[in-house]
Amino acid sequence: MTESTAKQPARRGRIFPERTLPPKELARRKAEDEVFYRRCREIFERVRPDLIKEHYGWYIAVEPNSGDYLIDADKMQAHKKALEKYPNTDHCVFCFNETGTTGTLAQYDSG
């Protein structure tokens, strides 16, 4: 039996290192995301006091460029409504509850 002398080089790190973004670009994107989120959150906070009474636990998809929002009892339906009405823009989805979060945070016992 003959052994092959060619070995695969050891690969370490990212699969596509050419797609790694420089830190400056990552910081720019993070800042843009934060501005976008704040614009959406501002609209949500403005309409929440009026809508939370009737729609507690429902979801709201906010499109910040128009200031428009769409609500539904189902999170995915609110998201789909926003995609149908504004197919080429981003939006945020919030929940009509005390915090506006759409998911749950797991509580871990440290003891």
Per DSSP, what are the bridge partners of residue 93? Answer: 61
pLDDT of residue 43: 95
Tokens in use for 20?
């790694």
5: confidence class by pLDDT, cuts 50, 70, 90: low
pLDDT of residue 9: 64
Record the pTM: 0.72
111: confidence class by pLDDT, cuts 50, 70, 90: very low
Cβ neighbours for 64, distance < 8 A, ≥ 6 positions apart: 36, 39, 40, 42, 43, 91, 92
How do residues 23-78 score in pLDDT, each as one tens digit? Answer: 899 999 999 999 999 999 999 999 999 999 999 999 999 999 999 999 999 999 99
Q: Is the CB of residue 40 less than 8 Å from the CB of residue 51? A: no
DSSP type of residue 52: T
Nearest to 50 by CA among 29, 80, 71: 71
pLDDT of residue 102: 74
